[in-house]
Amino acid sequence: MYSYNLFRSTKLDGLVCAVPEERSVPPFVVEPNWRFGGRVHGQDAPLGFDRKAAMEGVRFNGFYLFASFQKDQPSQ
Going from N- to C-terminal start, the domains of the chain cover 4-67
Tell me the pLDDT of the chain (76 aa) as tens digits: 679 999 999 998 889 999 999 999 999 999 999 999 999 887 778 888 999 999 999 999 999 999 987 655 555 4
Distance from C-alpha of 57 to C-alpha of 65, rounded to nearest angstrom: 8
Q: Which residues contact 13 (CB under 8 A, 6 or more apart)?
A: 67
Distance from C-alpha of 66 to C-alpha of 50, rounded to nearest angstrom: 8
Q: pTM for this structure?
A: 0.84
Q: Which residues contact 37 (CB under 8 A, 6 or more apart)?
A: 6, 7, 8, 16
